[in-house]
Amino acid sequence: GDEDRPVTWVSLRDAREYCRYFGKRLPHAYEWQLAAQGTDGRQYPWGNDMEWDRIPPVQRNGTEVVLPKVLQHRTSDSIFNVSDTVGVVWQLTDVFHDPHTRGVVVKGSSNFNPILSGDFPALPQVGNWYFPPARKLTQHNRILLMDESIDRAGTVGFRCVASHPEGAPGPRHVHDAAVSYLI
Q: What is the mean pLDDT of residues 80-93?
A: 87
104/43 Cα distance (integer angstroms):
22
What's this model's pTM, rounded to 2 decimal places?
Answer: 0.77
pLDDT at site 180 = 38
Residue 17 has pLDDT above 60, yes or no: yes
Among 132, 144, 139, CA closest to 96: 144
Among 65-69, 92-96, 125-129, 155-159, the range scoring the smallest mean pLDDT is: 125-129
Residue type, 19: C
Q: How far apart are CA 8 and CA 147, in angstroms?
A: 16
Residues 6+ apart with CB under 8 A from 101: 144
